[in-house]
Amino acid sequence: MTQIDLARRIGLDSQGHISRMEAGKKSPSLRLVLSIAGVFEVMTDYLICDDIALNAWHACATTRAPVCQEPLSQLFGKKLHYLRTKDNLSQTELARHLGLSAHTHISFLESHRKEPSIDLVRQLATYFNVTTDYLLRDEVAVEWSDASEE
């Protein structure tokens, strides 16, 4: 597949953005990572984690979760809230474990007011021992509650 073909399939106007990403001059957004993962039928872990070989995901390609139609910030916020409360962590405790300066960052993520960076997604996946695909793609079977509370 050419850069032009990929750009068209993910809805970009030109291949320039793809070229800059491949050259390491531009970082992709999470939405772009999700689109590219869908085109190539790979897990998001393969695209954003540095230590995963391509052949490790061939077996997973048919079992990976579909892209959820829910807005990314809402899906991610629900999952973060679920994982944090399951581990009995306050927003302040989680922020401290992640090296964040304030719990408000966690609050904004959980209440859908902020989308996470790729680095934070990787960090959270490692901390909670889940895949980035879990955080970004598959369905959550939890009820939403007020995430602004600690």
At 104, is the secondary structure helix, strand, or coil? Answer: helix
pLDDT greater than 80 at residue 31 = yes
Q: Would you list the domain boundaries of the chain?
A: 3-57, 72-136
Q: Which pLDDT band holds residue 139 (cuts at 50, 70, 90)?
A: low
Q: Can you name the CATH fold of 72-136?
A: 434 Repressor (Amino-terminal Domain) (1.10.260)
Query: Does 3-57 carry CATH code 1.10.260?
Result: yes
Query: Given a cut of 80, is residue 115 above it in pLDDT?
Result: yes
pTM, full prediction: 0.71
Average pLDDT over residues 92-121: 91
Do residues 147 and 90 make contact, with C-beta atoms less than 8 angstroms apart?
no
- pLDDT average, residue stretch 50-70: 47
Same topology between domain 3-57 and domain 72-136: yes
Contacts of 146 (CB under 8 A, 6+ apart): none
Q: What is the pLDDT of residue 108?
A: 93
Query: How far is the C-alpha of 52 from the C-alpha of 112, rounded, in Å?
Result: 29
